[in-house]
Structure 1
Amino acid sequence: MEEKVYTTPLGDIHYWVQWKGKDAQTLVFLPGLTADHRLFDKQIEYFANKANLFVWDAPGHASSYPFSLRFSMDD
């Protein structure tokens, strides 16, 4: 898995990808609000040579911390 970072004005969002090719199925792993990318370690290990993979740390969680959660509907 290759770690990447998406930078926003509120903070960085960390995500990991593995690309096996356009013909491979793609699996997206989205951990819940109290978890991070490590929740899927066993699944990623199993699918490592079988599919394209994407997993992230939601803003404010694990590698995507700190992240400013200050916003309003006016933004």
Structure 2
Amino acid sequence: INGSMMEGLLIYALPLALFGGVVPTLFFTLGVPHIGGGLATILGAAELPMAALMSSIVLRENVHMLQWLGVAVI
């Protein structure tokens, strides 16, 4: 609405959407027949705790105890 996408933010938004959402999903979908359903389930379950851990370590984001509890519940 405020025009920020057309003033330069779109250059960063499109690659981020492509490499953050489309490519990992595509590669995971293509790889599942090769690794089997059991290992794919384990990898899918391990992704959320690893994302929370890496955001805490690498990006130095605050991951609160309630968020860790949500990861544990899932």
Which has the larger share of strand?
A: 1
Question: Normalising by the residue count of structure 2, what TM-score does the alignment of the two structures yield?
Answer: 0.24
Which gives a bigger RCO, structure 1 or 2 (Cα 8 Å, sep 6+)? 1
Structure index of larger Rg: 2
Q: TM-score, normalised by structure 1?
A: 0.23
